[in-house]
């Protein structure tokens, strides 16, 4: 099973777009997305230096546009991709690229949202000098306790041996003087304490814009940074992306869900390397592919053929599916059991795992066509639970 992932801020490097822009079709598409973003992304991806593309307002649009256009190179006929991809995820701003790739939103909507996201986060970062530092190695509990002791936030939990601390520069300096035992610190090339309370002013602005964004339910399972759950309601995908601006990225839980889905191959879109590096340490036995340059495209397509299989989500348009957000035991709601028609937002049941219990809702509602699981069944992330026919349609 194939999962495709998109990296987050910090993955960019000077000149990384040079080989991609040699293709006139790629260059033309980049010009279009640059127009939507109001930035000359080709310039920033070829000629700008590291300090320039570290700017949040530049880095974020670059990191959404590039995976989207590389995906069109990888899958020249986009519809073919849905027979191969078992799940998608993005790290931080990469979630917007993943959402557009799963057809939740359009590429143009993603570029408008990332343009405004970058501006709002840059403004929030300017209010107080803040930053982020990767804490590599050490005992996990000691690392988290030390981060908390210094008043910092574990803004990215990237799995064993890599937690990113975020907060004010003074707090990060104190962490450098008093680090966790046996841990190494690596300051990150970002402009602020992303995914912390320092970014809360940006959430309101993006939330207001997001209310006007039309969405579709994803064509493949979308794995959320918030908690690693599979989200199959387009409105919730966007709402989670907005809220995640000021909340930690739980990439560790995303990888856990990928393993629960049965991933055998993980392909990272450009600028690639960060997430495949994490996966090699945390997802033993899973083959990885870091797509960095266009001369790798044939090998990347072969990788997709080797691992690809359709997702468990059926896309027949005459009915909707409610899917499991996580791995666990499904418990059917007593009220839902007795109803032939579920109202929008009705509780279908819950999925109980060792970690928590998650309610499952029918966001759109509809007539119950078929229950696909029974009370007490073990379910996997993204597994269809019930088939609903939209009310008012023939």
Tell me, what DSSP letter sits at residue 295? G
Cα distance between residue 39 and residue 333, in whole Å: 50
If one counts every other C-beta atom within 10 angstroms of the C-beta of residue 394, the result is 4
Kindly name the residue from 34, 91, 150, 195 that is annotated as catalytic. 195
Provide CB contacts within 8 A for 275, sequence distance 6+: 5, 7, 91, 251, 266, 268
Active site residue 311: no
Cα distance between residue 348 and residue 167, in whole Å: 40
Provide CB contacts within 8 A for 329, sequence distance 6+: 351, 352, 353, 376, 377, 378, 379
Kindly name the residue from 34, 92, 311, 380 that is annotated as catalytic. 92
Tell me, what DSSP letter sits at residue 87? E
Alpha helices in 55-199 (DSSP H): 56-74, 94-101, 107-127, 140-149, 169-177
Residue 129 near residue 123 (C-beta atoms within 8 A):
no
Cα 105-108-111 angle, rounded to 5 deg? 95
Active site residue 92: yes
Residue 193 near residue 150 (C-beta atoms within 8 A):
no
Which of 231, 218, 234, 230 is closest to 261 using CA atoms? 230
- Catalytic residue annotation: 92, 195
């Amino acid at each position: 099973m194939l999962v495709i992932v998109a990296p987050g801020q910090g993955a960019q490097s000077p000149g990384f777009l040079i080989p991609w822009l040699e293709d006139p079709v790629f260059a033309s598409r980049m010009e279009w997305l640059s127009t939507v973003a109001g930035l000359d992304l080709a310039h920033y991806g070829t000629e700008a230096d590291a300090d320039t593309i570290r700017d949040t307002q530049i880095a974020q649009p670059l990191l959404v546009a590039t995976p989207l256009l590389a995906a069109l190179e990888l899958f020249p006929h986009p519809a073919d991709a849905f027979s191969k991809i078992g799940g998608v995820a993005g790290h931080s701003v990469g979630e917007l690229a993943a959402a557009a790739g799963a057809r939740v939103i359009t590429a143009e909507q993603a570029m408008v949202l990332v343009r405004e996201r970058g501006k709002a986060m840059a403004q929030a970062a300017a209010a107080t000098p803040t930053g982020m530092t990767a804490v590599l190695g050490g005992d996990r509990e000691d690392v988290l306790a030390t981060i908390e002791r210094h008043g910092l936030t574990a803004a990215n939990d990237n799995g064993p041996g890599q937690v990113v601390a975020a907060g004010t520069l003074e707090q990060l300096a104190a962490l450098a003087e008093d680090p966790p035992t046996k841990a190494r610190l690596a300051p990150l090339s970002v402009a602020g304490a992303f995914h912390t309370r320092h970014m809360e002013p940006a959430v309101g602005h993006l939330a207001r814009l997001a209310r006007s964004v039309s969405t579709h339910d994803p064509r493949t399972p979308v794995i959320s940074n918030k908690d690693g759950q599979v989200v199959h309601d387009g409105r919730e995908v966007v709402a989670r992306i907005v809220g995640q601006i000021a909340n930690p990225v739980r990439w560790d839980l995303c990888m856990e869900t990928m393993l629960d889905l049965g991933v055998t191959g993980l392909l990272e879109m450009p600028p690639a390397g960060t997430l495949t590096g994490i996966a090699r340490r945390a997802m033993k036995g899973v083959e990885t592919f870091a797509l960095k340059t266009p001369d790798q495209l044939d090998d990347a397509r072969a990788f997709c053929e080797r691992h690809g299989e359709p997702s468990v989500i059926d896309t027949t348009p005459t009915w909707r599916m409610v899917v499991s957000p996580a791995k666990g035991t499904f418990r059917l709601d007593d009220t839902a059991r007795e109803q032939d028609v579920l109202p929008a937002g009705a509780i279908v049941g819950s999925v109980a795992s060792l970690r928590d219990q998650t309610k499952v809702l029918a966001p759109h509602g509809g007539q119950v066509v078929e229950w696909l699981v029974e009370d007490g069944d073990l379910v996997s992330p993204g597994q269809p639970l019930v088939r609903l026919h939209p009310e008012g349609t023939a």
